[in-house]
Amino acid sequence: MLVLTCPREIERVLVKEHQNFPKNEHFWRQVTALFGNGLLTSKGTFWQRQRQHRLAAPAFAGQMLAGYADTMVRESTQTAEGRGDGDVRDVHADMMALALTIAAKALFGTEVEEDVLVIDDALNDILAELASRVLRPILIPDAVPLPGHVRYRRALRRINGIVARIITERSTSNAAGNDFLSALMRTRDMDGTAMSDRQLRDEVVTFLLAGHETIALVLSWTIHLLSRHPEVERILEAEVEDVVGQRAATMGDVPRLSFTEHTITGSMRLYPPAWAIGREARYDCQIGGFDVRAGTPILISPWVLHRDPRFFDEPEAFRPERWHQGLAQRLPRFAYMPFGGGPRICIGNRFSMIEAVLILTTLNQCFRFIADPNSPVGPILSMTLRPRRGVRVMVERREISSLYG
């Protein structure tokens, strides 16, 4: 395996010669049963058609993003109102449930409150199995009744059942939905064909699972850092009071919540949800002066890059203020890449940042977060960078009136 830490060579692999460095098959063939031929796993001309003509435009245009904002704030407010002063919470579990609810309502126009625990348990089983599969030198078919395979297939059945219900509800509804799923059903390919039922299923699974998992991790790690850096939380609190006050945050507030955004940026630097990106060489070549044979796995790790002292002073320190005065523009391209890079950069990166800013703003209006000294927090390397035992903090309620009256 070749591990790249030079931004120039990373740009070559992800952008300039990306056709010569496709996704690493050893990993992605392990998740075909889950994501099918969705945006995460598809490739070639089919992937280009899905991303450019069928998904990007209907899902993440400016008008659609503005419509999602109220759902994000309203659901965050309801989550906060159900928490008492002095409660010790696993905020990772809370953020997973909140992000899943927002994704279901904003993107698919449906309710999943009753399914949150089912999806969470299923996703835990799936990720545990995928983590073990990555270490295997050979591919063992899903049909082989290993204990992990049995749990994996059972979890898939649960996910598929929920996704089928979501699609059926939207298909049989007479109302013209203004959500992502409705837009997918209305969109047509360049030759006029609609998306197949199977492809709808694959894209819904991709956006429902990958989308909510990522934003929940961003918020979990951000709250973890804030609970241990009260001086940062005080600055964040002052900005929120100045920009938003006691009303509900809106999409129009996002550009003015710069320190809030920098807090999230700083969290993603230290704890990037996508901690590693895999590619492989299609042909024999040279990278950084090394001879690389065709088929060689290539690893790019945002975790490593974001903690590199060549690019960041005090690389282990959580200092959101470092992003003031245009640090992002001064860094070498691909020294900071929490959403990946190149043609396959995360399609929902703007959606995710807006969601993170609005949720963190709303939670900050309601709470201060205090670290639980008896609950150490550390990462576990899975498909994403998850907290090993959750993120337990005490919530100290701030006295404000209800944001929605």
What confidence tens digit (pLDDT) does each residue in 336-360 have?
999 888 766 676 788 889 999 999 9
The answer to whether residue 400 scores a pLDDT higher than 70 is: no
How far apart, in Å, do the first and last CA atoms of the chain sit?
Answer: 57
The answer to whether residue 107 scores a pLDDT higher than 60 is: yes
The answer to whether residue 206 scores a pLDDT higher than 60 is: yes
**For residue 280, which of 253, 263, 300, 260 has the smallest C-alpha distance?**
300
Say which residues have a Cβ less than 8 Å from residue 277's Cβ, sequence separation at least 6: 14, 299, 300, 301, 302, 340
Q: What is the pTM of this model?
A: 0.88
**For residue 333, which of 12, 23, 2, 3 has the smallest C-alpha distance?**
12
Q: What is the pLDDT at residue 40?
A: 65
379-381 and 297-300 beta bridge pairing = unpaired
Say which residues have a Cβ less than 8 Å from residue 393's Cβ, sequence separation at least 6: 88, 89, 91, 223, 224, 227, 369, 370, 371, 372
The answer to whether residue 321 scores a pLDDT higher than 90 is: yes
Q: Which helix (H) or strand (E) holds 72?
A: helix 62-81
Percentage of the residues of the chain whose pLDDT score is greater than 70: 87
Average pLDDT over residues 308-315: 96
Name the pLDDT band for 23 (thresholds 50, 70, 90): confident
Q: What is the pLDDT at residue 20?
A: 92
Q: What is the pLDDT at residue 139?
A: 78
The residue ranges of every structural domain in the chain are 2-397
Name the pLDDT band for 281 (thresholds 50, 70, 90): very high
The answer to whether residue 1 scores a pLDDT higher than 60 is: yes
Residue of higher predicted confidence among 206 and 295: 295
In angstroms, the CA 236 to CA 279 distance is 38
Query: Largest Cα–Cα distance in the chain?
Result: 65
Q: What is the pLDDT at residue 341?
A: 81
The answer to whether residue 319 scores a pLDDT higher than 90 is: yes
Least confident of 167-181, 243-257, 323-337, 386-400: 167-181
Average pLDDT over residues 66-89: 85
Q: State the fold for domain 2-397.
A: Cytochrome p450 (1.10.630)
Average of per-residue pLDDT values in the chain: 85
The answer to whether residue 106 scores a pLDDT higher than 80 is: no
Average pLDDT over residues 176-189: 72
The answer to whether residue 401 scores a pLDDT higher than 60 is: no
Least confident of 1-5, 141-145, 297-301, 309-313: 141-145
The answer to whether residue 94 scores a pLDDT higher than 50 is: yes
**For residue 159, which of 312, 328, 34 has the smallest C-alpha distance?**
34
Least confident of 163-172, 175-184, 352-361: 175-184
Say which residues have a Cβ less than 8 Å from residue 279's Cβ, sequence separation at least 6: 13, 14, 21, 22, 23, 24, 297, 298, 300
Average pLDDT over residues 287-316: 94
Listed ranges 3-7, 143-147, 171-175; the one with the highest mean pLDDT? 3-7
